[in-house]
Amino acid sequence: MEEPHVHKIFSEHKEFSNSFLLRQTGFLSDTESQEAKQSNLDKAIFAYPIKHYTDLQDMGTSGENFAVLEMDEFTVFIGDTFKIGDAIIQVSQPGPVSREHLQGGLQTGWYFRVIQDGLIQGETDFELLERPYPQWSIAACTEVVYLRKDDFRAADDLYACEALGDVWRRTLRKRLRGF
């Protein structure tokens, strides 16, 4: 198996091949204001596996920043920390979920938070630095939140995952409190 790597980088739905400065708030050129991004650092970068694209869907059109190879929702885990170029990023939560995602095999993509700013470029390998929660793949998290809504034990276990993004933790907290 090849090393996982970023195949393409997108900002505002345009592909970039030159170096890019990745910051805690994502790419500076993205349309969303830096003030808005500052409020949700868990979603600085959105990655989507290339193998999920269809003939009708072009890369970069779903709002993703990274189109990735050799990674998917079953091989990426909450808290996975990677070095990519000069930056260090950490998986924080699954990507947006729709009915099609759930019916199509939990193909949601995932978000990264940026731990350390740095320069990156397309065709850059991911170097796995840490995997603290090997029980919480992106697919497993999506399943607990959207398909196993009555499994409070699993919800409690996922809630205890400190690397999980705040939005997902709030969702789980509401469920555990009966809301």
CA 64 to chain centre: 9
User: Is the Cβ–Cβ distance between 48 and 95 less than 8 Å?
Assistant: yes
**pLDDT digits over 30-63, tens only?**
455 445 555 689 999 999 888 887 644 666 666 7
37-51, 53-67, 97-111, 121-135: which has the minimum mean pLDDT? 53-67
- pLDDT of the residue at 27: 79
- pLDDT of the residue at 33: 47
Domains defined along the chain, listed by start: 5-176 (2.40.33.20)
Give the global pTM. 0.85
**What percent of the chain shows pLDDT beyond 70?**
75
26-30, 104-108, 164-168: which has the minimum mean pLDDT? 26-30
Give the largest CA-CA distance in the chain. Answer: 49
Q: In what order do the strands lie in the sheet with 26-27?
A: 26-27, 20-23, 118-120
